[in-house]
A and B are shown apart, each in its own frame.
Chain A
């Protein structure tokens, strides 16, 4: 059987076939990435850069604004008020994130590991609140928690209290409760995915080796679901840091947060330079937190 002679390759000649293949792959990758890249640049990178330029007066809104000035940054750093507000918002974010995760984990566990064939029906039930307006869901709590609301009326009717509980609404309690309620469905989903994609044979193996269900949960299920829990925690913590609408609606006089101060600077004070400085500080803080989370919690394993 005749075979075609294969020309011997010269080891001193560069391997152009592999380079051509790599170049082609880069072009395909670049082409596919073009649309999301443009999207990220136009709707994230450019606005962030512009906010940064506003914060130092490189761009100004009104004629009387300070051009090329760090006045906004100086005032922000020297004022106790705004840094205190940031820490207040951070504490709120931490509390909401922890409570949302604690509330969502049993829900996700039930759906992923217990519900069997009804899994996706229950998942749909979790998602249904998203079909209603966010504002309506928050304002509904006014009817539940208000002084003449459902909760107080019920407690008074059964004789537990004589006067309405004022702290149920227009309070820090209301902010924590409503934000946790809003975020639980979001948090349940990544935890559900983490539990769903876990190797369930490990649970069987644990049981076969004599471990109780509680022991299996603490030693096998929970550690394997931690990447999902971490992702869920970050998923809530970061956006809640800048939250201001829900605190304004249900928080009463104590509902003024760091996000509220940013909103106030832009929309009430026409103080774009100062508002931009605060916004940039929030962006830097979030970036640092993400770096810490990523390093500490091994984001690569979350991605995998």
Chain B
């Protein structure tokens, strides 16, 4: 420490020390800034150039997935065909996955919601699928697969889907209201839970009957919906981020109405009198699936993997296990809990996922504005 002091107390030495720190800092910044955001090769160039046959591929797929989606039963046929097991890495949210991709993180496939396909395309990170290489594609829900298209090309094979509806305690709340208004109802004050998502503002938008697109609102409508949410924060018991805590709160009767995905209903319906509401304003719905890296070296293996995911048998088990929907229209519904089929409209997913019954997720050009508005709502909740 004494020698360091002597350096820092000596003007000449101190200047030399600080100069060297600055030089190293500048070099570090320059090195860190030099990054290729776009990966080599666009979708078009990959398709145009001769794609080697499957024999030329190393077959080790790198799949950036949600935790739990690495389960072998989800790609059962791919494993049965004798291909090497993929290497999985895990994402916690799609925004983080996009940021990692922009920073150069490599994967052959990842599993985003359809609203983020445009972001990957903007990074030149993905290429269209060749659906002729996916035999099960013909059985997939065309409404969902259309949501996976951009510029007429199939950039995402949409495989699983769900609702962002409302779960209510039927012993405290009248199910006939059938509306997102449950989330803003003064009569339920102290017993409401929102998920931490700007979609709450979109739900306020449809509750108020505002005219513009709830996922791309006009500035006035966004302001109106935001202020409505701020006013209703007084009714909140919680803003959940952990669905297990939500389940506990519903079990204990602390929460009577909450933003919820289908899995909450599947888990809780045998324990407490809950009902899942697909609101009359149109239920917000989401789809997600596999996107293909633009410079993947395992083009054919990736298609085989996607085809395995798309099978009806996988769909049946996905629905039974997690309550999420699957895109394959040939799932044997007789093997699934009839109540789940009825509540989620699995008998006619094409109609139930179309307007006016559903408001399908899509790219939000005003994502930052919605997020900032949501920040204001959460700040007001304190």
State which of B20-28, B143-151, B264-272, B309-317 sits at the interface with chain A. B20-28
Q: Is the C-beta of A110 less than 8 angstroms from some C-beta in chain B?
A: no
Contact status B375-A148, CB under 8 Å: no
If the complex has contacts A41-B28, A45-B21, A63-B123, are A85 and B379 also in contact, measured as CB distance less than 8 A?
yes
Q: Is the C-beta of B67 less than 8 angstroms from some C-beta in chain A?
A: no
CA distance A43 to B289 in the complex (A): 36
CA distance A272 to B99 in the complex (A): 9
CA distance A81 to B378 in the complex (A): 10
Contact status B98-A270, CB under 8 Å: yes
CA distance A62 to B124 in the complex (A): 11
CA distance A252 to B382 in the complex (A): 8
CA distance A29 to B198 in the complex (A): 54
How many A-B contacts if CB must be within 8 Å? 129
> Smallest distance from the beta carbon of A147 to chain B beta carbons, Å?
6
Digitize A204-243: 1 where CB-to-B-CB distance is under 8 Å, 0 elsewhere: 0000000000000000000000000000000000000000
Q: Is the C-beta of A75 less than 8 angstroms from some C-beta in chain B?
A: yes
8 Å CB contact of A41 from B21, B197, B245, B376: B21
Q: Is the C-beta of A285 less than 8 angstroms from some C-beta in chain B?
A: no
Contact status A147-B252, CB under 8 Å: yes
Q: Is the C-beta of B46 less than 8 angstroms from some C-beta in chain A?
A: no
Contact status B239-A253, CB under 8 Å: yes
Q: Is the C-beta of B320 less than 8 angstroms from some C-beta in chain A?
A: no
- Cβ of A68: which chain B residues have Cβ within 8 Å of it? none
State which of A4-12, A189-197, A261-269 sits at the interface with chain B. A261-269
- Cβ of A33: which chain B residues have Cβ within 8 Å of it? 4, 17
Contact status A61-B102, CB under 8 Å: yes
Contact status A147-B28, CB under 8 Å: no
Q: Is the C-beta of B237 less than 8 angstroms from some C-beta in chain A?
A: yes
Contact status A264-B123, CB under 8 Å: no
Within 8 A of A (CB), among B220-253: 233, 236-239, 241, 245, 252
Q: Is the C-beta of A246 less than 8 angstroms from some C-beta in chain B?
A: no
If the complex has contacts A267-B96, A268-B371, are A29 and B24 also in contact, measured as CB distance less than 8 A?
no
Contact status B29-A53, CB under 8 Å: yes
Contact status A274-B372, CB under 8 Å: yes
- Cβ of A64: which chain B residues have Cβ within 8 Å of it? 122
Q: How many residues of B contact A (CB 8 A)?
A: 48
Contact status B375-A81, CB under 8 Å: yes
Q: SS class of chain A's interface: helix, strand, loop or mixed? A: helix
Q: Is the C-beta of B32 less than 8 angstroms from some C-beta in chain A?
A: yes
Specify the chain A residue showing the minimal Cβ separation from B245.
A142
Q: Is the C-beta of B7 less than 8 angstroms from some C-beta in chain A?
A: yes
Within 8 A of A (CB), among B1-38: 3-4, 6-7, 13, 16-17, 20-21, 24-25, 28-29, 32-33
Q: Is the C-beta of B70 less than 8 angstroms from some C-beta in chain A?
A: no
Q: Is the C-beta of B154 less than 8 angstroms from some C-beta in chain A?
A: no
If the complex has contacts A33-B4, A41-B28, are A61 and B99 also in contact, measured as CB distance less than 8 A?
yes
Contact status A81-B24, CB under 8 Å: no
Contact status A261-B379, CB under 8 Å: yes
Digitize A69-108: 1 where CB-to-B-CB distance is under 8 Å, 0 elsewhere: 0000001000101101100100000000000000000000
> Smallest distance from the beta carbon of B69 to chain A beta carbons, Å?
20
Q: Is the C-beta of A37 less than 8 angstroms from some C-beta in chain B?
A: yes
If the complex has contacts A63-B122, A265-B371, are A260 and B28 also in contact, measured as CB distance less than 8 A?
no
If the complex has contacts A81-B375, A261-B375, A268-B95, are A45 and B28 also in contact, measured as CB distance less than 8 A?
yes
> Smallest distance from the beta carbon of B123 to chain A beta carbons, Å?
7
**A contacts, CB < 8 Å to B:** 25-26, 28-30, 32-33, 37-38, 41-42, 45-46, 49-50, 53, 59, 61-64, 75, 79, 81-82, 84-85, 88, 142, 147-148, 170, 172, 248, 252-256, 260-261, 264-272, 274
Q: Which 4 A-B pairs have the closest CB atoms?
A: A269-B371, A46-B28, A254-B382, A253-B381
**Known A29-B4, A265-B371, A271-B368; further 13 A-B contacts with Cβ < 8 A:** A26-B16, A29-B6, A38-B24, A45-B28, A61-B102, A148-B252, A252-B239, A256-B375, A266-B99, A268-B93, A268-B371, A269-B368, A270-B99
9 contacts between A and B (CB under 8 A): A33-B4, A46-B28, A46-B29, A49-B25, A79-B376, A253-B236, A254-B381, A256-B382, A269-B370
